[in-house]
Amino acid sequence: MKIQFSDQKKIFNIHTEEIPYLSVDLLDRLGVPNLYSTRFISYDEKEGKGREGLRVVVMKDEDPREAGPVVFENRDRLARQLGSSIEMECVTDQMHTNHVYVVRPEDLGPILRQDKPERRRSVDGIITDIPDAVLTAFGGDCPPVYLADPVRKAIGLVHAGWRGTLGRIPAVAIGKMKEEFGSDPADMYAAIGPGICLDCYEMGEEVLDQFADQWGEDEAEKIFRRYPAFMEDGREIPGGKPHLDLMEANRMSLLMAGIPEDHIAVSNVCTKCNADIFYSFRAHRMENEQAAMIVNRWEVR
Average pLDDT over residues 223-240: 93
What is d(CA 270, CA 193) in angstroms, rounded to the nearest whole number?
Answer: 10
CATH of the domain at 152: 3.60.140.10
Nearest to 263 by CA among 200, 198, 190: 190
Mean pLDDT within 19-41: 98
Q: Is residue 232 part of a domain?
A: no
- The reported pLDDT for the residue numbered 301 is 65
DSSP H or E stretch at residue 192: strand 189-192
* Percent of residues, the chain, with pLDDT higher than 70: 99
The answer as to whether 225 is a domain residue is no
pLDDT digit string (tens) for 35-50? 999 999 999 999 999 9
Pairing type for strands 100-102 and 125-128 reads: parallel
Q: Which residues contact 62 (CB under 8 A, 6 or more apart)?
A: none
Judge whether residue 202 has pLDDT over 80. Answer: yes
Q: Which of 115-124, 213-222, 279-288, 291-300 has the lowest mean pLDDT?
A: 115-124
pLDDT value of residue 118: 82
58 Cβ contact partners less than 8 Å away, ≥ 6 residues apart: 64, 67, 68, 71, 112, 113, 114
Confidence of residue 136 (pLDDT cuts 50, 70, 90): very high
Average pLDDT over residues 176-200: 98
Burial class of 159 by CB neighbour count within 10 A (0 to 12, 13 to 18, 19+): buried
* Cα–Cα distance for residue pair 287/272, rounded to 1 Å: 13
Q: Is residue 217 part of a domain?
A: no
Across the range 170-184, mean pLDDT stands at: 98
Distance CA(67)–CA(212), nearest Å, equals: 42
What is the maximum span of the chain, computed from C-alpha positions, in angstroms?
A: 60
Cα gap 247→264, rounded to integer Å:
11
Length of the chain: 301
Rg of the chain (C-alpha set): 19
- Domain that includes residue 121, residue range: 12-201+245-295
> How confident is the model over 59-73, as pLDDT tens digits?
999 998 899 999 999
User: Between the CA of residue 251 and those of 57, 87, 136, 150, 245, what are the distances in Å?
Assistant: 27, 32, 21, 20, 10
For the segment 112-141, the average pLDDT, to the nearest whole number, is 90
Domain-embedded: residue 209: no
Residue 221 within any structural domain of the chain: no
Pairing of strands 40-44, 134-139: unpaired
Residue type, 9: K
What's the pLDDT score for residue 241?
A: 97
Confidence of residue 117 (pLDDT cuts 50, 70, 90): confident
Evaluate whether 117 touches 108 at the Cβ level (below 8 Å).
Answer: no
CA torsion 120→121→122→127, rounded to 10°?
10
> What average pLDDT does the segment 163-169 reach?
98
Q: What does the pLDDT read at residue 256? A: 98
For residue 116, pLDDT over 80 is answered with: no
pLDDT of 33 reads: 98
* Mean per-residue pLDDT, 130-140: 97
Does 220 reside within a domain? Answer: no
Bridge partners for 293 per DSSP: 35, 136
Q: Which residues contact 235 (CB under 8 A, 6 or more apart)?
A: none
Q: Is 6 exposed, middle or buried (0-12, 13-18, 19+ CB in 10 A)?
A: middle
| Sequence-ordered list of residues with C-beta below 8 angstroms from that of 236, at least 6 positions apart, any chain | 228, 229, 230
Mean of all residue pLDDT scores within the chain: 96
Residues 267-299: tens digit of each pLDDT: 999 999 999 999 999 999 999 999 999 999 998
Arithmetic mean of pLDDT, 28-39: 98
Q: Which pLDDT score is estimated for 3? A: 96
pLDDT at 222 over 90: yes
User: Domain tally for the chain?
Assistant: 1
Residue 114 has pLDDT above 80, yes or no: no
Q: What is the pLDDT of residue 300?
A: 74
For 76, phi and psi rounded to 5 degrees? Answer: -65, -40
